[in-house]
Protein backbone atom coordinates (compact mmCIF):
# COMPACT_ATOMS: atom_id res chain seq x y z
CA UNK A 1 0.00 0.00 0.00
CA UNK A 2 1.26 3.48 -0.84
CA UNK A 3 1.78 5.75 2.13
CA UNK A 4 2.72 8.66 -0.13
CA UNK A 5 2.01 9.51 -3.73
CA UNK A 6 3.07 12.48 -5.84
CA UNK A 7 1.19 13.15 -9.07
CA UNK A 8 2.55 15.69 -11.61
CA UNK A 9 4.20 17.54 -8.74
CA UNK A 10 5.60 20.88 -9.90
CA UNK A 11 7.23 23.86 -8.20
CA UNK A 12 7.99 27.12 -9.92
CA UNK A 13 9.83 30.09 -8.48
CA UNK A 14 8.74 32.84 -10.84
CA UNK A 15 9.79 31.70 -14.32
CA UNK A 16 12.17 29.07 -12.96
CA UNK A 17 10.88 25.49 -12.69
CA UNK A 18 12.64 23.84 -9.74
CA UNK A 19 10.58 20.62 -9.83
CA UNK A 20 8.90 19.54 -13.05
CA UNK A 21 5.99 17.11 -13.20
CA UNK A 22 7.20 14.42 -10.79
CA UNK A 23 5.28 11.18 -10.37
CA UNK A 24 6.30 8.66 -7.75
CA UNK A 25 4.96 6.62 -4.87
CA UNK A 26 6.39 5.56 -1.52
CA UNK A 27 5.30 2.16 -0.21
CA UNK A 28 4.40 1.89 3.47
CA UNK A 29 7.29 0.42 5.50
CA UNK A 30 10.08 1.02 2.99
CA UNK A 31 13.15 3.24 2.91
CA UNK A 32 12.67 5.24 -0.27
CA UNK A 33 15.80 6.87 -1.65
CA UNK A 34 15.53 10.15 -3.53
CA UNK A 35 18.83 10.55 -5.23
CA UNK A 36 20.21 13.47 -7.18
CA UNK A 37 23.05 16.01 -7.48
CA UNK A 38 23.07 19.39 -5.72
CA UNK A 39 20.36 21.69 -7.02
CA UNK A 40 18.35 18.83 -8.57
CA UNK A 41 15.21 19.66 -6.57
CA UNK A 42 15.36 17.20 -3.65
CA UNK A 43 14.77 19.72 -0.84
CA UNK A 44 12.09 21.52 -2.84
CA UNK A 45 10.29 18.19 -3.30
CA UNK A 46 10.50 17.42 0.44
CA UNK A 47 9.19 20.90 1.21
CA UNK A 48 6.16 20.31 -1.00
CA UNK A 49 5.56 16.81 0.40
CA UNK A 50 5.63 18.15 3.97
CA UNK A 51 3.60 21.29 3.44
CA UNK A 52 6.56 23.64 3.99
CA UNK A 53 6.33 24.96 0.41
CA UNK A 54 3.21 25.58 -1.64
CA UNK A 55 2.68 23.20 -4.53
CA UNK A 56 2.52 25.10 -7.85
CA UNK A 57 0.61 22.30 -9.57
CA UNK A 58 0.01 18.59 -9.10
CA UNK A 59 -1.13 16.68 -6.04
CA UNK A 60 0.19 14.81 -3.02
CA UNK A 61 -1.60 11.95 -1.27
CA UNK A 62 -1.02 10.46 2.17
CA UNK A 63 -2.48 6.96 2.54
CA UNK A 64 -4.70 7.71 -0.45
CA UNK A 65 -6.02 11.06 0.82
CA UNK A 66 -5.27 14.24 -1.15
CA UNK A 67 -3.62 16.71 1.28
CA UNK A 68 -2.21 19.14 -1.31
CA UNK A 69 -4.19 22.08 0.04
CA UNK A 70 -4.81 20.78 3.54
CA UNK A 71 -1.46 19.89 5.07
CA UNK A 72 -2.16 20.38 8.81
CA UNK A 73 -3.55 16.92 9.58
CA UNK A 74 -0.99 15.18 7.37
CA UNK A 75 1.87 17.01 9.09
CA UNK A 76 1.06 15.32 12.42
CA UNK A 77 1.89 11.98 10.79
CA UNK A 78 5.17 13.26 9.34
CA UNK A 79 8.58 13.83 10.86
CA UNK A 80 10.94 16.26 9.14
CA UNK A 81 14.70 16.41 9.51
CA UNK A 82 15.91 19.36 7.41
CA UNK A 83 19.44 19.56 6.03
CA UNK A 84 20.05 22.59 8.27
CA UNK A 85 19.06 21.98 11.89
CA UNK A 86 15.99 23.82 13.12
CA UNK A 87 16.75 23.46 16.85
CA UNK A 88 17.64 26.15 19.39
CA UNK A 89 21.29 26.90 20.18
CA UNK A 90 20.73 28.12 23.73
CA UNK A 91 18.55 25.19 24.84
CA UNK A 92 20.08 21.90 25.92
CA UNK A 93 19.23 18.63 24.16
CA UNK A 94 16.52 17.66 26.64
CA UNK A 95 14.88 21.10 26.46
CA UNK A 96 14.95 21.08 22.65
CA UNK A 97 13.18 17.70 22.54
CA UNK A 98 10.56 18.56 25.17
CA UNK A 99 9.94 21.90 23.43
CA UNK A 100 9.27 20.12 20.10
CA UNK A 101 7.00 17.64 21.90
CA UNK A 102 5.05 20.52 23.47
CA UNK A 103 4.38 21.91 19.98
CA UNK A 104 2.50 18.66 19.30
CA UNK A 105 0.45 19.15 22.45
CA UNK A 106 1.90 16.22 24.42
CA UNK A 107 1.45 16.10 28.17
CA UNK A 108 4.45 17.02 30.32
CA UNK A 109 5.23 13.54 31.71
CA UNK A 110 4.92 11.96 28.24
CA UNK A 111 7.22 14.50 26.58
CA UNK A 112 9.83 14.17 29.31
CA UNK A 113 9.72 10.38 29.20
CA UNK A 114 10.03 10.39 25.37
CA UNK A 115 12.86 12.93 25.39
CA UNK A 116 14.84 10.85 27.89
CA UNK A 117 14.25 7.63 25.96
CA UNK A 118 15.34 9.19 22.65
CA UNK A 119 18.47 10.75 24.19
CA UNK A 120 19.45 7.28 25.46
CA UNK A 121 18.60 5.56 22.16
CA UNK A 122 20.67 8.10 20.19
CA UNK A 123 23.68 7.94 22.54
CA UNK A 124 23.10 11.52 23.73
CA UNK A 125 22.13 10.94 27.37
CA UNK A 126 25.07 12.97 28.70
CA UNK A 127 24.95 15.56 25.92
CA UNK A 128 21.26 16.09 26.72
CA UNK A 129 22.31 18.41 29.52
CA UNK A 130 24.55 20.57 27.31
CA UNK A 131 23.43 23.48 25.11
CA UNK A 132 22.84 22.57 21.46
CA UNK A 133 25.45 25.09 20.30
CA UNK A 134 28.14 23.01 22.07
CA UNK A 135 27.32 19.89 20.01
CA UNK A 136 29.47 18.53 17.19
CA UNK A 137 27.87 18.44 13.72
CA UNK A 138 27.17 14.72 14.07
CA UNK A 139 25.53 15.18 17.49
CA UNK A 140 23.44 18.05 16.12
CA UNK A 141 22.22 15.86 13.27
CA UNK A 142 21.32 13.05 15.68
CA UNK A 143 19.37 15.37 18.00
CA UNK A 144 17.57 16.83 14.98
CA UNK A 145 16.50 13.30 13.98
CA UNK A 146 15.34 12.63 17.58
CA UNK A 147 13.28 15.83 17.43
CA UNK A 148 11.81 14.69 14.10
CA UNK A 149 10.41 11.49 15.63
CA UNK A 150 9.33 12.82 19.05
CA UNK A 151 5.64 12.65 17.99
CA UNK A 152 6.02 9.11 16.59
CA UNK A 153 5.35 9.88 12.92
CA UNK A 154 4.41 7.24 10.34
CA UNK A 155 6.82 8.67 7.77
CA UNK A 156 10.15 10.39 8.36
CA UNK A 157 11.79 12.73 5.83
CA UNK A 158 15.58 12.78 6.12
CA UNK A 159 17.17 15.47 3.94
CA UNK A 160 20.80 14.50 3.29
CA UNK A 161 21.26 13.21 6.85
CA UNK A 162 24.90 12.21 6.41
CA UNK A 163 26.17 15.16 4.36
CA UNK A 164 28.90 17.22 6.02
CA UNK A 165 29.44 15.09 9.12
CA UNK A 166 32.24 12.76 10.21
CA UNK A 167 32.40 9.15 9.05
CA UNK A 168 31.62 7.61 12.46
CA UNK A 169 28.53 9.80 12.97
CA UNK A 170 27.38 9.06 9.41
CA UNK A 171 27.63 5.34 10.15
CA UNK A 172 25.61 5.78 13.38
CA UNK A 173 22.95 7.73 11.52
CA UNK A 174 22.64 5.05 8.85
CA UNK A 175 22.27 2.44 11.61
CA UNK A 176 19.66 4.59 13.43
CA UNK A 177 17.73 4.98 10.17
CA UNK A 178 17.62 1.21 9.72
CA UNK A 179 16.54 0.73 13.37
CA UNK A 180 13.72 3.27 12.97
CA UNK A 181 12.61 1.60 9.76
CA UNK A 182 12.50 -1.77 11.58
CA UNK A 183 10.11 -0.10 14.03
CA UNK A 184 7.69 0.49 11.15
CA UNK A 185 8.61 4.08 10.28
CA UNK A 186 8.61 4.64 6.52
CA UNK A 187 11.64 6.71 5.52
CA UNK A 188 11.99 9.17 2.64
CA UNK A 189 15.71 9.77 2.35
CA UNK A 190 17.45 12.23 0.06
CA UNK A 191 21.11 11.80 -0.65
CA UNK A 192 23.68 12.40 -3.35
CA UNK A 193 25.69 9.33 -2.31
CA UNK A 194 24.83 6.37 -4.53
CA UNK A 195 26.52 3.93 -2.10
CA UNK A 196 24.37 5.20 0.76
CA UNK A 197 21.18 4.73 -1.25
CA UNK A 198 22.34 1.28 -2.31
CA UNK A 199 23.08 0.24 1.26
CA UNK A 200 19.93 1.61 2.90
CA UNK A 201 17.10 1.87 0.44
CA UNK A 202 14.53 -0.64 -0.73
CA UNK A 203 13.81 1.47 -3.83
CA UNK A 204 15.29 4.65 -5.28
CA UNK A 205 14.22 7.41 -7.63
CA UNK A 206 16.67 9.70 -9.42
CA UNK A 207 16.05 13.39 -9.94
CA UNK A 208 18.10 15.55 -12.29
CA UNK A 209 17.29 19.22 -12.95
CA UNK A 210 13.85 18.91 -11.39
CA UNK A 211 12.84 15.85 -13.42
CA UNK A 212 12.90 12.10 -12.93
CA UNK A 213 14.72 11.00 -16.10
CA UNK A 214 13.25 8.22 -18.20
CA UNK A 215 14.88 4.86 -17.48
CA UNK A 216 17.61 4.14 -19.98
CA UNK A 217 15.86 1.16 -21.53
CA UNK A 218 12.90 3.39 -22.37
CA UNK A 219 15.24 5.93 -23.93
CA UNK A 220 16.62 3.12 -26.11
CA UNK A 221 13.11 2.40 -27.33
CA UNK A 222 12.43 6.02 -28.29
N1 LIG B 1 13.29 29.83 -2.68
C2 LIG B 1 13.83 29.65 -3.89
N3 LIG B 1 13.78 30.59 -4.85
C4 LIG B 1 14.29 30.38 -6.08
N5 LIG B 1 14.95 29.26 -6.45
C6 LIG B 1 15.04 28.28 -5.53
C7 LIG B 1 14.50 28.41 -4.21
N8 LIG B 1 14.75 27.25 -3.53
C9 LIG B 1 15.42 26.46 -4.39
N10 LIG B 1 15.61 27.07 -5.57
C11 LIG B 1 16.28 26.50 -6.75
O12 LIG B 1 15.62 25.29 -7.08
C13 LIG B 1 16.56 24.31 -7.51
C14 LIG B 1 16.43 23.07 -6.64
O15 LIG B 1 16.92 23.38 -5.33
P16 LIG B 1 16.89 22.32 -4.15
O17 LIG B 1 15.53 21.72 -4.08
O18 LIG B 1 17.40 23.00 -2.93
O19 LIG B 1 17.93 21.22 -4.67
P20 LIG B 1 18.64 20.02 -3.87
O21 LIG B 1 18.00 19.90 -2.54
O22 LIG B 1 18.44 18.81 -4.75
O23 LIG B 1 20.10 20.38 -3.78
C24 LIG B 1 17.95 24.97 -7.45
O25 LIG B 1 18.27 25.44 -8.74
C26 LIG B 1 17.73 26.10 -6.47
O27 LIG B 1 18.61 27.16 -6.75
MG1 LIG C 1 18.82 19.96 -0.64
Whether the model pTM is above 0.75: yes
Instruction: Compute the Cα dihedral for 116, 106, 85, 161 and give only its sign.
Output: positive
Domain boundaries, the chain: 1-77+155-166+187-222
Q: Which atom of ligand 1 is nearest to the CA of 38?
A: 23
- Tell me what pLDDT residue 45 has: 98
For ligand 2, the distance from its centroid to the CA atom of residue 181, given in whole angstroms, is 22
Q: Atom 4 (ligand 1): residue with closest C-alpha?
A: 13
- HEC secondary structure over the chain: CEEEEEEEEEEEECCEEEEEEEEEEEECCCEEEEECCCCCCHHHHHHHHCCCCCCCEEEEEECCEECCCCHHHHHCCEEEECCCCCCCCCCEHHHHHHHHHHHCCCCHHHHHHHHHHHHHHCCCCCHHHCEHHHCCHHHHHHHHHHHHCCCCCCEEEEECCCCCCCHHHHHHHHHHHHHHHHCCCEEEEEECCHHHHHHHCCEEEECECCECCCCHHHHHHC
pLDDT in 10s for each residue of the chain, 222 residues: 999 999 999 999 999 999 999 999 999 999 999 999 999 999 999 999 999 999 999 999 999 999 999 999 999 999 999 999 999 999 999 999 999 999 999 999 999 999 999 999 999 999 999 999 999 999 999 999 999 999 999 999 999 999 999 999 999 999 999 999 999 999 999 998 999 999 999 999 999 888 888 665 555 554
Cβ pair 9, 59 in contact under 8 A = yes
Domain 1-77+155-166+187-222 coded CATH 3.40.710.10: no
For ligand 2, the distance from its centroid to the CA atom of residue 185, given in whole angstroms, is 22
* Ligand 1 mutation target, pool 15, 35, 41, most atoms within 8 A of CB: 41
Backbone angles phi, psi at 197, to 5 degrees: -65, -40
Q: Which atom of ligand 1 is nearest to the CA of 36?
A: 22
Amino acid sequence: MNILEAVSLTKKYGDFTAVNNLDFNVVEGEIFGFLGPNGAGKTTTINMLTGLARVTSGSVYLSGIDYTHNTKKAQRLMGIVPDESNLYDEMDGFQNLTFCAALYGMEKHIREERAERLLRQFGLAEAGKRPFKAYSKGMKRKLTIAAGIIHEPKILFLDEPTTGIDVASARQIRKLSLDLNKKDITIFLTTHYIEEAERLCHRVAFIVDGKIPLPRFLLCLL
